[in-house]
Amino acid sequence: MLGRGIFSDDNAYNSAINSLKKLFQELGNSIEVRLYDKGQLHAKMIIVDKVAVIQGSLNLTKAALTSNVETAYAVIDPEEVRRYAEDFDKLWNEAIAVKSPEDLKPRQ
């Protein structure tokens, strides 16, 4: 498993479907994705092997990584990383599994 990701049912829903199609084509069963439908999930967080967390304003897009002005910070304190991982797992467990982009219907 390369990774897990959660997105929410917000104004980026349709663009998320297109991104998911690309991810599933490239990575297939190496990723798990879930839809968080209990509110807008705006947080951007990357947990690396449960030893570090990167959190900030950036989306994982080319513009965010190359030209936008973004902020991010890294956390390596084991106790803080554990708390972030617990928060992620709570959201993960509340979210709906997405087995393929076809599970999601574009919105008007």
Q: What pLDDT is recorded for position 8?
A: 66
Q: What pLDDT is recorded for position 10?
A: 59
Q: Which of 42, 50, 99, 105 is catalytic?
A: 42
42 is catalytic: yes
User: By the 8 A CB rule, do 96 and 104 touch?
Assistant: no
Burial of residue 63 (number of CB atoms within 10 Å: 0-12, 13-18, 19+) = exposed
105 is catalytic: no
Q: What pLDDT is recorded for position 81?
A: 96
Q: How many CB atoms lie within 10 A of CB 95?
A: 20
Domain residue spans of the chain: 3-97
44 is catalytic: yes
Q: What is the CATH number of domain 3-97?
A: 3.30.870.10
Q: What span, in angstroms and rounded, lies between the C-alpha atoms of 100 and 42?
A: 22
Q: Which of 22, 49, 87, 90 is catalytic?
A: 49
Q: Which of 9, 21, 37, 44 is catalytic?
A: 44
Q: What pLDDT is recorded for position 84?
A: 94
Question: What does each of the 108 residues of the chain score in pLDDT, given as a tens digit?
Answer: 667 777 665 556 677 777 778 878 888 778 888 888 887 777 788 889 999 999 888 877 788 888 999 898 999 999 999 999 999 999 999 988 888 877 777 766
